[in-house]
Structures are given as C-alpha cells and as structure tokens.
C-alpha cells in the first residue's frame, strides 16, 4: 500500500532530476513503476524530461553537425545544450549553479558508475541534470563548460545515453531518504559492503526436489548471518574476483567484537 506523509507532499522534493534528450518519448513510462513511481508520488523526487530539439535554432532545429577535422558520424552541437541547461538552471555558468547541482554527461568516456558514487550523489545532490549524449559524441565545449560529472554505466557502447540515464536515475532514487519505505533497506544491497548479495529463498521449502538450505529454516540468526556472508563471499569470488580481493568480515562477528 502507498502511504504518503502529508508533510512530505507539501515540502520541496529531496531531489529534482531533469533529463535532456533528443528522444523524450523514450522515457514514456519508464519512471512510472515500483520504487521510482512511489518516490515520485511521495514527493521525494521530481523528474522532468526535456526535448533538446526545442532549444535548437533555425527552421530545421538541428541538434547535430559534422565533426571538424573530418571523420565518421555526427557530433551534438553545443548551442541547444547550453540553452537547455540555461532553461533548467537559469544559468550555463558552472560557478552560478544552485548549491547541490550536478550536471552529468552520460557517455562511455565517463567515470564508471559505482554504488559508492550513486550514494554520494543521493546524499549530496539536490538538482541532477542528466544529459543524454548521442551520435559519435558531443561537442567537447559542453564537457568543458557545463558538466560537473561524466558517467559511464559500463565498458560497452550504447547508441545513446538514454538507457544510461534510466540506470543512473534508478540507482540514485532508490537511495534517497524514505524511497525504499521502512520494509526494505539499501544496506544489504550488493556492493554496499563491497560484496555481492547472498542467495535468497522463499516458500515452498521444497520445489521440484530442490530444497531450501536447512540453515535458513532453523531460526538461528547468528548461523544464518554467517551462512549468508559465506555465500556472498563465494558468489563474489566466482563472479567478481576483482571485488573479492579486499578483506571482508562477517557482519555478525564484527558486531560481536565491538
């Protein structure tokens, strides 16, 4: 059930997100499900989609042009992006951005998105502008003058930044205060302690001959916590050996020592 506090609805959202894209329709209903929908309805986040083309000049409203120096593909022009940022923030001068503003370029050249970086944006930012790059790239003067962060969602090339804007929005919004509701917590998410999440089971206790591990049924919380930690460590070693290099200790044993 969706219970929304009246005081929350009257207050300004914790974060306002503005997405700049040449494909506004791409975002149709993508933010209208699950946790993001709930956070929007609860007034925790406001999300606006802006069509970059509306800020382009001339009869043809061109948002891209051929690259100086030659080469394949088209480059996104700077003027519509500067105009769009001016429309959204009231300025395109980075020194004049309202406090807590992050203007993010989504591109494969960006810094990789991590749970840690999503958390720091969720904790610190009040305004988030996500610019979806397209074509072969974006005029570098946009990065030089407008951008505070350049983010990549992984070492692969998408046709544009739109899917990345959805990923970044989801990763950040679920970490905003109260977005997950009281019944869930981001503390146990994969990566929040440098490990992948442990396996989960629900009823039935036996399904097509496959049994739920006995330890989860016996109600011994210390044993369950130890089992979950070991399974998380196993999975991390198998799937992400790069993460498992760091030292980890079982949260139960940690709390007993302190």
Residue 103's DSSP bridge partners are 129
Question: Does the annotation count 174 as an active-site position?
Answer: yes
- Per the document, the length of the chain is 258
121 neighbors 102 (Cβ within 8 angstroms): yes
Rank residues 78 and 137 by Cβ distance to ligand ADE and give the closer one: 137
Nearer to ligand ADE by Cβ, of 43 and 133: the residue is 133
The answer to whether 223 is a known catalytic residue is no
* Interaction of residue 133 with ligand ADE, rule CB under 6 A: yes
Cβ proximity to ligand ADE: between 6 and 157 the closer is 157
What is the footprint of ligand ADE within residues 104-123 (CB under 6 A)? Answer: 106-108
Alpha-carbon span 12 to 103, nearest angstrom = 20
Q: Is 136 a catalytic site residue?
A: yes
Rounded Cα gap, residues 94 and 144, in angstroms: 10
**Site size with ligand ADE, rule: CB under 6 A:** 13
Q: Is position 244 an interface residue for ligand ADE (rule: CB under 6 A)? A: no
158 binds ligand ADE, rule: CB under 6 A: yes
Binding status of residue 45 toward ligand ADE by CB under 6 A: no
SS3 64: strand
Q: Which of 164, 179, 198, 232 binds ligand ADE (CB under 6 A)?
A: 164
Contacts of 234 (CB under 8 A, 6+ apart): none
Q: Name, in order, each residue with C-beta under 8 angstroms of 128's C-beta and a sequence gap of 6 or more.
A: 15, 16, 17, 18, 101, 102, 104, 121, 172
63 lies in the site for ligand ADE, by CB under 6 A: no
Candidates 67, 108, 163, 199; catalytic one: 108
Q: Quickly tell me which residue has 């969706």 as its tokens.
A: 2
Question: Is 203 assigned a catalytic role?
Answer: no
Contact residues: ligand ADE, CB under 6 A = 106-108, 133, 152-154, 156-158, 160-161, 164
């Amino acid at each position: 059930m969706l219970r929304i506090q009246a005081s929350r609805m009257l207050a300004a959202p914790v974060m306002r997100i503005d997405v700049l894209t040449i494909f506004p329709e791409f975002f149709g209903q993508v933010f209208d499900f699950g946790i993001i929908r709930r956070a929007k309805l609860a007034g925790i986040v406001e999300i606006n989609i802006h069509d970059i083309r509306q800020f382009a000049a001339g009869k043809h409203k061109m948002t891209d042009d051929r690259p100086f120096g030659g080469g394949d593909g088209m480059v996104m022009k700077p003027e519509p992006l500067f105009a769009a940022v001016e429309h959204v923030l009231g300025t395109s001068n980075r020194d004049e951005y309202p406090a807590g503003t992050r203007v993010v370029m989504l591109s494969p050249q960006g810094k990789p998105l991590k749970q840690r970086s999503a958390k720091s944006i969720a904790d610190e930012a009040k305004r988030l502008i996500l610019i979806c790059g397209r074509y072969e790239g974006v005029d570098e003067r946009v990065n030089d003058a407008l951008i505070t962060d350049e983010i990549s969602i992984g070492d692969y090339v998408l046709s544009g930044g739109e899917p990345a804007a959805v990923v970044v929005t989801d990763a950040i919004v679920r970490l905003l205060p109260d977005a997950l509701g009281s019944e869930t917590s981001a503390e146990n998410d994969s990566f929040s302690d440098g490990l992948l999440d442990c396996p989960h089971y629900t009823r039935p206790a036996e399904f097509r001959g496959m049994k739920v591990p006995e330890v989860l049924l016996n109600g011994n919380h210390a044993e369950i916590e130890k089992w979950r930690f070991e399974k998380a460590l196993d999975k991390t070693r198998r799937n992400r050996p790069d993460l498992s290099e760091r030292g980890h200790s079982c949260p139960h044993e940690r709390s007993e020592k302190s």
